[in-house]
Amino acid sequence: MGQLRTSPPPPQATELEQWVLSTAEELRELRASLRDALTRHGLVQGEDLDEVPHLVVLVATELATNALRHGRPPTIVTLLATDDTFLLDVADHDLRTVPGLGDIHPLDSGGRGLMLAESVSLAVGWYATEGTKNIWASFPR
């Protein structure tokens, strides 16, 4: 089983919006609201970046689902930005576990969220605060 690198997001990142989730039913609203937030906060549209909102929403859904399923509520999803990147930070309140890249078997129904995040984002990391375990992923703005 692999582990993610331990690293907070870049210190110059500023918070744009935040969502607090307690149930999986709230994921639909998160997806719609996050897509709108990316547009409102200056996602530059272009040939190479057209898929960025889709990828951010996909990773947010996967990481929030993991947090809701395996962490302690509430799950906190935060959209941050630097001059050239969007950062997605997903937190839960289970400090007893360390996020890892598990062995995935073809017939498993889950466990691919972190691997997906690593494959479609610029960078992925995790860190802990006094009360939360956070996983973040960055995307081109």
Q: What is the pLDDT of residues 69-94, one digit of tens each?
A: 999 999 999 999 999 999 999 999 99
Judge whether residue 47 has pLDDT over 50.
Answer: no
Mean pLDDT (whole number) for 119-131: 94
- pLDDT the model gives residue 50: 62
Contact 77, 32 (CB under 8 A): no
Residue 106 pLDDT level (bands cut at 50, 70, 90): very low
pTM above 0.85, yes or no: yes
Nearest CA to 43 out of 29, 56, 28 is that of 56
Closest of 42, 49, 127, 47 to residue 89, by C-alpha:
127
3-state secondary structure of 1: coil
- pLDDT category of residue 101 using cuts at 50, 70 and 90: low
CATH ID of 14-140, from 1.20.1250.20, 3.90.550.10, 3.20.20.70, 3.30.565.10: 3.30.565.10
Whether residue 4 has pLDDT greater than 80? no
């960055």: which residue's tokens?
Answer: 138
Q: Is the separation of the CB atoms in 104 and 140 below 8 Å?
A: no
What are the boundaries of each domain within the chain? Answer: 14-140
Structure tokens at 63: 């990481």
- Which is more confidently placed, 50 or 12? 12
